[in-house]
Amino acid sequence: MARYDKIGVGYALGRRTDPRWLTPVLSALGSAASVLDVGSGTGSYEPPGRRVVAVEPSAEMIRQRPAGAAPVVRAVAEALPFAAGTFDAALAVLTVHHWPDWRRGLAELRRVASRQVVLAYDTERHSDFWFVREYVPEVAALEASRPSAPEIAEFLGASSVTELPVPWDFTDGVFPAYWRRPEAYLDPAVRRSCSALAQTSPAAVDRGIARLRADLESGRWQAGHAELLDRPEWDAGFRLIAA
Ligand SMILES: C[S@@+](CC[C@H](N)C(=O)[O-])C[C@H]1O[C@@H](n2cnc3c(N)ncnc32)[C@H](O)[C@@H]1O
């Protein structure tokens, strides 16, 4: 059973494509006419108008792909069932940190496509998110075990690394998406769409949420984070890597 068969239930509801990230992804793909989307999930950042094939190990994620989405092959990044050079570009969005052997997966991307576009994040920056620092510090241990954007960029020999800040009203419910909307984390459905929380001990998350609820009620959170409240975007460490 793929991990996302369990933690991916309801993914399509909380994780909706945000055009402010789709635009840079499309430009990083350049003129590629054929694209392999690896760890595609529901296909949030698949480019329209090109020949796209998706690769995804989880049946639950495949089930949530919208009607008319690109054809999908059930496989893993580490063993892509395609000949060398089959695609112009390989795309991997917010998935490399889930691969048991991320270096082998990236080598596979390089084998099947001459251009690689990877959206990943700096794990140290994620661990510095107020939610982790002040409420669920246990998430930092998980982040420390995941590959970080600089390592991925170095492995691929990246030609560009672009910062993708998270707008305050971002629609794709990545873990730090609600950095300026803290009440959102009180909703179990929101927490379910974040693998960092789904993979952290439920007792630790419950403890942190109880503290956050109390701080929101008392105004302590608002007083401690006043500098965030008029910021339009925040750098949570997401990086678009092209090689
Ligand atoms: C956070 S989701 C991202 C999905 C999609 N790319 C998006 O941006 O919405 C991570 C995806 O990686 C997939 N995944 C996990 N391990 C994988 C592996 N070894 N190879 C390929 N995909 C994997 C999961 O099943 C899940 O669909």
Judge if the beta carbon of residue 76 lies within 6 A of ligand 1. Answer: yes
Domain count, the chain: 1
Q: Over pLDDT 70: what percentage of the chain?
A: 100
Identify the pLDDT of residue 3: 84
193 lines ligand 1 (CB under 6 A): no
What residue type is assigned to position 104 of the chain?
A: R
Checking if the pLDDT of 192 tops 90, the result is no
Q: Which atom of ligand 1 is nearest to the CA of 172?
A: 9
Does ligand 1 have an atom closer than 6 angstroms to the CB of 120? no
Range of the domain at 77: 3-242
Q: What average pLDDT score do residues 63-90 get?
A: 97
Output 55-58 pairs: Cβ under 8 A, ≥24 positions apart.
Answer: 55/80, 57/2, 57/4, 58/2, 58/3, 58/4, 58/5, 58/8
* Look-up of token digits 């890597």: 241
pLDDT band at 188 (very low <50, low <70, confident <90, very high): very high
Pick left, alpha or beta for residue 167 (phi over 0 → left; psi -120 to 50 → alpha; otherwise beta).
beta
* CATH code of the domain containing 63: 3.40.50.150
Q: What is the pLDDT of residue 25?
A: 98
Question: Is residue 10 predicted with pLDDT exceeding 80?
Answer: no
Percent of the chain with pLDDT over 90: 89
Q: Which atom of ligand 1 is nearest to the CA of 45?
A: 8
Convert the pLDDT of each residue in 93-151 to its tens digit.
999 999 999 999 999 999 999 999 999 999 999 999 999 999 999 999 999 999 999 99
Least confident range from 15-19, 81-85, 210-214: namely 15-19
119 lines ligand 1 (CB under 6 A): no
Compute CA distances 69 → 7, 57, 65, whole Å.
21, 16, 6
**For residue 211, what are its two tokens?**
């503290």
CA of 98 to the centre of ligand 1 (A): 7
Which pLDDT value is given to residue 12? 79
Please give the distance, rounded to the nearest whole angstrom, from the Cα atom of residue 219 to the centre of ligand 1: 37
Report pLDDT digits (tens) over 11-33: 777 788 999 999 999 999 999 99
Report the alpha-carbon distance of residue 102 to residue 155 in Å, rounded.
Answer: 10
Going by C-beta distance under 8 Å and a sequence separation of 6 or more, which residues neighbour residue 97?
120, 121, 123, 146, 147
Looking from the CA of residue 4, the nearest atom of ligand 1 is 25
For a substitution probing ligand 1, which of 98, 101, 118 has the most ligand atoms within 8 Å of its CB?
98
Q: Which amino acid is at 40?
A: S
